[in-house]
Amino acid sequence: MRGSLNLFKVLGIPIRLHVSWFLIAVLITWSLAGGYFPMEYPGWSAATYWLVGAVASVLFFASVLIHELGHSVLALREKVPVKSITLFIFGGVAQIGREPPTAGAEFRIAIAGPLSSLGLAAFFGGLGAVLADNAVLAAPLAYLGRINLLLAAFNMIPGFPLDGGRVLRAGLWAWRDSYQQATMWASRAGRAVAYGFILFGAAQILLGGGFLNGLWIAFIGWFLNNAAESSYQQVLLRDMLSGVKASSVMTQECARVPGGLGVEQLIEEHVLAGGQRCFFVGDNGTMQGMITLQDLRSVPRGQRQGLTTEQVMTRLDGVLRVRPDDDVWRVLQLMDEHDVNQVPVMDGGSFLGMITRERLLHDIRLRAELGV
C-alpha cells in the first residue's frame, strides 16, 4: 500500500487513501452519472446526474470504510492491533498487526464487516423509501441500499481472503483444531473462487459480454488469487519460524560509536565507506542509545553539520528490543508493527546481538531450501 495519503484517524486507526482510489472513484462516478441514473431516472439535467453520481460514489466509499471499521472494532476488542485502513482500487483493506488468537475471534472479526454492510443496506434502503417522493434524494439512497447488500453478499463468498473465506477458516479451525490446515483449505477455496472470476471475466471478453466488465472481473480474480496464495505462504512462514529463538538468528553487526562523533563523519566513514546500517552510541562502556539509517534520514542534509550522534540517536529506553528466547515469528511481527528494519537482542541491560530484516530473510531462504 505504498503511495497512500493519510487522511485522518478513527479510534486511533490511520485512515489512508491509495492513489489507485482516484481512478476507481472517477470510473464509478462516470458510470453512475452517464449510465445508471439516466436509465433509472430519465429527464434530469446533466449537472444533476453528475452531482447525484458524485454523492453516491463518495457515500459508497464511506460504506466501504464503515465495513472495514466493523472488522477493526472487533479486532481491537479481541486485542488484535489494527495498523491502518486503506481505501484503494478494490475497495478497502484493514491491515491488522497479527492474526486472531482463536477460531472464535476469527469468526467475530470476519462477520463484523458483512453485518455492518447489511446494517447500512437497511439504513439507506429505509431512508430512500421515506424520501421516495424526492427522486433526487431517493436515487442515491436506493442505490446505496442495493450496493451495500451486494457488498455483504460478495464478501460472504467462501473464498479466502474474503470475509466468507475467513468465516470458513474459523469453522475449519474450530473443527480440526489446526490453524495451518484451516488456512490451507480456506486458501484453496479462495483460489478456486479466484479462478472462477478469471474464467468468467475471460468469457465476458470473448463472448461479447462487455470487454471492460470482463477485464475488471478477471482482474478481481487475479487479485484474490494472489491474496489467497500469499496468506497461505504467510502461515507456512509462521510454522517455519515457530520455535526458532532470536538468539539463533542474531548477529554482532551493530557497531559502537562515541556520543560525540559528528553525524557527517559517521555517514562518511561508517555508513558509506563501511556499509554499516546501525550503531550503538555510548561512552566508557555505557550504552546510551541507538542510531539507524531511519534516524539519519530524519535529519535534513543541510542540518547535519555540527550535530553529534548523541543528538540524533534514539535513547535506549525508547528502542524496541527483544529477549534471546523470544520466538523469531513474534520478532518479525514486532518489526512489522513498529516499521523497523533491525532490533537489538538484550538480556536485561546487556546487549547480545542484533536481528536485521536482511539477516532474517537470508535465514528464511536457507530454511526453505533445506526444508527445515
Which residues, in sequence order, are bridge partners of residue 356? 342
Report DSSP letters for 20-31, one per residue.
Answer: HHHHHHHHHHHH
Q: Hey, how many other C-beta atoms are within 10 angstroms of the C-beta on 148?
A: 27
For 30-38, which contacts have Cβ atoms below 8 Å and span 24 or more sequence positions?
32/56, 32/57, 32/143, 36/143, 37/139, 37/143
Q: Which of 40, 68, 264, 369 is catalytic?
A: 68
- Is residue 291 within 8 A of residue 279, CB to CB? The reply is yes
Element (H, E) at 364: helix 357-370
Of 63, 33, 39, 36, which Cα lies nearest the Cα of 51? 33
- Whole-Å CA distances, 304 to 182, 257, 277, 300: 53, 17, 17, 7
Q: How many whole angstroms separate alpha carbon 83 and alpha carbon 96?
A: 6
Distance from C-alpha of 83 to C-alpha of 23, rounded to nearest angstrom? 24
Task: List Cβ neighbours of 19 (8 Å cut-off, separation of 6 or more).
Answer: 3, 4, 5
> Of the candidates 151, 134, 140, 137, which has an alpha carbon nearest to the alpha carbon of residue 57?
140
Q: What is the DSSP string of 96-127?
A: ESS--SSHHHHHHHHHHHHHHHHHHHHHHHHH
DSSP state of 161: T
99 catalytic? Reply is no
- 298 vs 304: CA distance, rounded Å: 10
Active-site annotation, residues: 68
